[in-house]
Structure 1
Amino acid sequence: MSDIENSGGQAGEGRVKNAILIAGPTASGKSALALDLAERMGGVIVNTDSMQGYSVLDVLTARPSAAELARAPHYLYGHVHPSIAYSTGAWLRDVMKLIDEGTFFGRPVIFVGGTGLYFRALAEGISEMPDIPRQVRDRWRYELQEQGAAKLHRILLREDSAAGMMLKPTDGQRIVRALEVLDASGRSILDWQAMRGRPLIDRDSARFFVIEPERAALVSRIEARFDRMLDSGALEEVRRLAALGLDADLPAMKAIGVRELQAAMAGELSYPEAIERAKIATRQYAKRQATWFRHQLGPEWHRLRTGYGMETTISTDLFGAT
Structure 2
Amino acid sequence: MLRGKDAILIAGPTASGKSPLAVELASLVGGVVVNADSMQVYGGLRIVTARPNPVEEARAPHRLYGHIAPESPYSVGAWLREATQAVEEIRAEGRVPIFCGGTGLYFRALLGGLDAMPAIPAEVRGRMRAIFAAEGADALHARLSSLDKEGASRLSPGDSQRVLRALEVVEATGKPISAFQSGKGQALLDAEKTLKVVLTPERAVLRERIAARFDIMLEEGAVEEVAAFRVAYPAALGGTARKAIGVEELGRYLDGLGTLAEARQRAVDRTRQYAKRQETWFRHQFDGNWLRVSGRDSLFAQLTEFGTSKLTNG
Q: Tell me whether the two structures share a fold, i.e. TM-score over 0.5.
A: yes
8 Å contact kept, 1:98–1:104:
no
* Structure 1 partner of 2:246: 257
Deviation at 1:219, TM superposition (A): 1.4
**Does residue 210 in structure 1 map to residue 208 in structure 2?**
no
Selected match of 1:116 from 91, 94, 104: 104
8 Å contact kept, 2:16–2:201:
yes
Give the TM-score taking structure 2 as reference length.
0.88
Give the TM-score taking structure 1 as reference length.
0.86
Selected match of 1:4 from 2, 5, 14: 2
* Structure 2 partner of 1:273: 262
CA deviation map 1:99-157 (0-9, x unaligned): 34455542222111111110111112422223334543343234345555555444334
- Cα distance in 2 for partners of 1:22, 1:171 equals 28
Selected match of 1:188 from 163, 171, 176: 176
* Structure 2 partner of 1:302: 291
Deviation at 1:183, TM superposition (A): 2.0
* Structure 2 partner of 1:313: 301
8 Å contact kept, 1:128–1:197:
yes
Selected match of 2:230 from 218, 225, 242: 242
> Aligned to 1:84, what secondary structure does the other structure show?
coil
* Structure 2 partner of 1:222: 210
- Cα distance in 1 for partners of 2:157, 2:268 equals 31
- Cα distance in 1 for partners of 2:261, 2:62 equals 35
Kindly provide the amino acid, as one letter, of the partner of residue 115 in structure 2: S
Deviation at 1:40, TM superposition (A): 1.2
CA deviation map 1:21-74 (0-9, x unaligned): 111111111111111111111111111111111111111111111121111111
What pairs up with 1:26-65 in 2 under 5 angstroms? 26-65=14-53
158-167 vs 31-40, which deviates more?
Answer: 158-167
> Aligned to 2:100, what secondary structure does the other structure show?
strand
Say if 1:106 and 1:54 are closer, same or farther in 2 by CA, change over 3 A: same
Which sections of structure 2, spanning at least 5 residues, go unmatched?
none
Say if 1:195 and 1:264 are closer, same or farther in 2 by CA, change over 3 A: closer
* Structure 2 partner of 1:197: 185
CA-based RMSD:
2.6
What pairs up with 1:173-184 in 2 under 5 angstroms? 173-184=161-172
Say if 1:152 and 1:58 are closer, same or farther in 2 by CA, change over 3 A: closer
Which sections of structure 1, spanning at least 5 residues, go unmatched?
8-16
87-96 vs 137-146, which deviates more?
Answer: 137-146
Q: What is the count of residue pairs matched by the alignment?
A: 309
* Structure 2 partner of 1:11: none
**Does residue 23 in structure 1 map to residue 21 in structure 2?**
no
**Does residue 107 in structure 1 map to residue 95 in structure 2?**
yes
